[in-house]
Structure 1
Amino acid sequence: MSRLVIISNRVTIPEKSATAPAGGLAVALQAALEERGGIWMGWSGKSSGAKEPAELHLIERGNITYALTDLTKTDVEEYYHGFANRVLWPICHYRLDLAEYARKEMAGYFRVNRFFAHRLAPLLKPDDIIWVHDYHLIPLAAELRRMGIKNRIGFFLHIPWPPADVLFAMPVHEEIMRGLTHYDLVGFQTVHDLSNFRGCLEREGFGSAVSDTVFSANGAEFRGNFYSIGIETAAFAEFARKSASGVLVKKARQSLEGRDLIIGVDRLDYSKGITQRIDAYESFITRNPEQHGKVTYLQITPKSRSEVPEYEQMQRTVAEQAGRVNGALGAVDWVPIRYINKSIGRPILAGLYRLAKIGLVTPLRDGMNLVAKEFVAAQDPEDPGVLVLSRFAGAAQELKGALLVNPYDIEGTGHAIARGLTMGREERIQRWRGMMDHLLEHDVTRWCDDFLKDLTAA
């Protein structure tokens, strides 16, 4: 069996002393690496004032080699904070108004990808299978091909892929598109993302579609398909069941004093629709005065990319908005919104998901959104909560039992909250059962296996 080589922007090294399991993606990729043996390479997360990036730092864990490298401060600023997160991220989330293109940052993005390729190449064996992850590393295959690397190389995009009219507003869209054509297999989260990619490929002649999943470019064929990422469903369900009786979750339950819990969990990002969600909750409370003092909305939003001005501004905006709603609608014995601006451990989150009557997952645009899947997996089969889900999340194409909403429709989302809180147990169980059965069948291990099977055959 060929070795597996994974390259991602950041590398997850399992800690032997960890008290909580890693996320499903890390678990699946580590399991695949353990089965095949291989390398997981990426940025260490550290930066220095050096003029040149550091040498690889190799860590052996069983038959897995973790290969980490520091980057220079200039590289981090241009590659990560700059082009990746101020150009590619907003454009892939349809936010042209937030994309700030600069040639210097574009050059840094391609320079770091070239650096990754040069550090990786000496570690490769001829039959290794290479799997590259996410938008930070789109040009990596092209750089490896220029060096004469002929291994099978696959790429998976964890975020949305936009239609041609959005992507082509980016000055270097041609380089990005041509970069993807050097992979043997390009994977997307949904069939809509795959369709958008096909449109981008054909619109300006970067390539052509031979079939629904086979494309031609550069005088050769490559494959594209969609692979909707899952979670470790059965394990997370058991984890949530046990966590519900934990000390902190019990304290949270007691603090609710019998009120229904609505929960939202999101990284602080403009794509998550947090401000629209707070507006929707305010609309729900305003239009349903009988719910005053009977429901609590808990929004957990860890800080994200604070070095990027748009995120710093959003942090202030969300905090001010939550404060305004609490000031306008709250009472001496009731705070409508509990807003937490820090990370919460996975054991506590799992228990809180199970405690909640409503999971409020309303991004403006999302590749998949695993919070939605975790909420479903965490529910009590005898008395499950209701998932209110944005139709613009990739998960909406799978979780048919959710109440789908348009996050821009503030009143409509508010109505969905009201409907979820009053939904009968029989309907809740029926909706949950269908989603849970799907998640059990399409878990993260199947996602990983399906992609690697197609890459091996490429």
Structure 2
Amino acid sequence: MDPARTSNGTNRPGRIIVVSNRIPKGDVPAGGLVFAIHEALSGGGGLWIGAADPTEQALDGLTPIGSGIYDRATFAITEEEHHGFYLGYANSVLWPLFHHRPDLLDIQDGDFEAYAAVNRRVARAIAHIAEPDDVIWIQDYHFLMVAQELRYLGVKNPTGLFLHIPFPNPTDVMALPQVAALSSWIAAHDVFGLQTMRDVASADETLRHDPKAEQLPNGCWRRENRTFRLLSFPIGIDAKGFSDTAESAPTPELQLAPKAPLLIGVDRLDYSKGLVHRFEAFGDYLSRRKSGSVRPTFLQIAPVSREDVTAYQDIREELECASGSINGAHSDLDWTPIRYVRRSFERNVIAGLYRRADAALVTPLADGMNLVAKEFVAAQDPEDPGVLILSHFAGAAEQMSAAILVNPFDRHRFADSIERAIEMPLDERRDRHAVLRKTVFEQDIAWWTNSFLTCLRGVPRGYSDPD
């Protein structure tokens, strides 16, 4: 099947062409970027392009891997490119930099060249199949150069990128070896979407340092004859679907003491998630807990990822050390305060755990949005809801100020917030949850998709390309 055509062989004008690094080869996993894209495309169809499993040789073009409500296809990538493009430049340079950790950058010769080569291959594949009425929607930091390469190839289709992670501040961005090119990568898009107004402000400030860029009175930017927009589009979830799943999910068997509070955290194992700080704050709470008071259990689910990257090996060791130390100090014969699980669970299991939990700790040190916060709120019983403890540094904090907002670096105040959540009266829990639920349901995944695509489809035709 030609990915440029539908399953019945007819041309499909006005498709959405989505590009992301990850693409489901089979069932769509619960949560995260992949599930969000699946939900977005399920509403109107289109073509989803993602990376194939690494091979020895990478050829141009796309390989169809599925069709239905929308089509799926992959581009090729070699083992060497996977190490340079994905593990190297994307996740050892861009990821730590954009999460405000320039001290963790691991800059290696050849990694940027691999990143650029993969971005060019993706651009060539899109240029080959894009039809005049298609819109191109690029996802995340893996493909910052694709739009520029498309313009070099003469592709004039409306093209937008949504950055799921934070944008670096103007000081940190100087650590990027290719910082001089960053403005041109951004400017090649018609719409450059970010999670929060804080991220938009950081990106604006970066562009203000570029003598070739100017901000227009209407808020748009212009650089070398291209006009483009930087806008905030906070991503949402399928709130109703997740709520229904949580309501129908069986209650997990956790073997807790009667009336023992359950606190939960669900995060990919990553240094940006603040997991060690979270454990330490919980340990601080335990150390001041009165004898004979409730004995809460904190369940942290943290599937391992990117084990080949040194920084991830380090955070795993730190977290295991912290959990062992805290449990050793506070456990009893019939109580283990921290349950640390290093694997993933099915969507309905997670939804059931959220609904059962008395509080969720969503406390990253830096995060684009963090959909766990929204999933937890959607999963709650409005009559007896749990409490959301949310970091100021999560993008979700801009929309979810009715949560208990915390600074994860302030361990003692964080511990105070844990105590407050455990002891919060029902009326206050209901009031806070009602406000949070309204936002989560109104600004859901459909709202996010429609907001971005309406803006992208509204781009005036005839925008000039760079010289």
Category of TM-score, reference length = shorter chain: over 0.9
**Where does residue 186 of structure 2 map in the other structure?**
180
List structure 1 runs of 4+ shifted beyond 6 angstroms.
none
Residue 380 of structure 1 and its aligned partner are, at CA, apart by 1.1
Check conservation: 1:28, 1:445, Cα contact below 8 A. no
1:360-439 matches, within 5 Å, as: 360-439=361-440
Q: How far, CA to CA, are the matches of 2:239 and 2:378 in structure 1?
A: 6
**Where does residue 91 of structure 1 map in the other structure?**
97
CA offsets per residue over residues 27-80 of structure 1, 9 Å max, x none? 553455355442111102x112x2435753213422522111341111000000
Structure 1 residues 145 and 422, CA gap change in structure 2 (3 angstroms): same
Check conservation: 1:6, 1:130, Cα contact below 8 A. yes
Check conservation: 1:24, 1:444, Cα contact below 8 A. no
Deviates more, 1:324-333 or 1:5-14: 5-14
* 1:449 and 2:450 aligned: yes
Q: How far, CA to CA, are the matches of 1:37 and 1:259 in structure 2?
A: 46
Q: How far, CA to CA, are the matches of 1:417 and 1:70 in structure 2?
A: 47
Residue 312 of structure 1 and its aligned partner are, at CA, apart by 1.3
SS of alignment partner, residue 161 of structure 1: coil
Residue from 220, 223, 226 that aligns with 1:217:
223
Residue 347 of structure 1 and its aligned partner are, at CA, apart by 0.9
Q: How far, CA to CA, are the matches of 1:443 and 1:425 in structure 2?
A: 26
CA offsets per residue over residues 125-170 of structure 1, 9 Å max, x none? 1111000000000000001111111111011000000121111121
Q: How far, CA to CA, are the matches of 1:395 and 1:157 in structure 2?
A: 14
**Where does residue 337 of structure 2 map in the other structure?**
336
SS of alignment partner, residue 278 of structure 1: helix
CA offsets per residue over residues 78-130 of structure 1, 9 Å max, x none? 00000000000001010011011224111111111011112222111111100
Q: How far, CA to CA, are the matches of 2:69 and 2:299 in structure 1?
A: 42
Residue 209 of structure 1 and its aligned partner are, at CA, apart by 1.4
Greater strand share, 1 or 2?
A: 1
1:95-244 matches, within 5 Å, as: 95-211=101-217, 213-243=219-249
**Where does residue 289 of structure 1 map in the other structure?**
290
Which residue identity lines up with residue 322 of structure 1 in the other structure? S
Residue 204 of structure 1 and its aligned partner are, at CA, apart by 2.9
**Where does residue 279 of structure 1 map in the other structure?**
280
Q: How many residues are matched?
A: 447
Q: How far, CA to CA, are the matches of 1:81 and 1:217 in structure 2?
A: 31
SS of alignment partner, residue 175 of structure 2: coil
Sequence identity, in percent? 38
Q: How far, CA to CA, are the matches of 2:435 and 2:83 in structure 1?
A: 45
Q: How far, CA to CA, are the matches of 1:264 and 1:25 in structure 2?
A: 18
Q: How far, CA to CA, are the matches of 2:71 and 2:382 in structure 1?
A: 40
- Alignment TM-score, normalising by the size of structure 2: 0.92
SS of alignment partner, residue 258 of structure 1: coil
Q: How far, CA to CA, are the matches of 1:227 and 1:35 in structure 2?
A: 18
Residue from 50, 54, 65 that aligns with 1:47:
54
Structure 1 residues 54 and 317, CA gap change in structure 2 (3 angstroms): farther
Q: How far, CA to CA, are the matches of 2:219 and 2:388 in structure 1?
A: 32
Greater helix share, 1 or 2?
A: 1
What are the ranges of 5 or more consecutive residues in structure 2 without an aligned counterpart? 1-12, 460-467
What are the ranges of 5 or more consecutive residues in structure 1 without an aligned counterpart? none
1:32-43 matches, within 5 Å, as: 32-34=40-42, 36-43=44-51
Residue 289 of structure 1 and its aligned partner are, at CA, apart by 2.7
Q: How far, CA to CA, are the matches of 1:24 and 1:47 in structure 2?
A: 22
Check conservation: 1:359, 1:375, Cα contact below 8 A. yes
Residue 220 of structure 1 and its aligned partner are, at CA, apart by 2.1
Structure 1 residues 298 and 292, CA gap change in structure 2 (3 angstroms): farther
Structure 1 residues 348 and 206, CA gap change in structure 2 (3 angstroms): farther
* 1:23 and 2:35 aligned: no
Which residue identity lines up with residue 48 of structure 2 in the other structure? W
Structure 1 residues 256 and 346, CA gap change in structure 2 (3 angstroms): farther
Check conservation: 2:61, 2:124, Cα contact below 8 A. no
Root-mean-square deviation (CA, aligned residues, Å) is 1.8
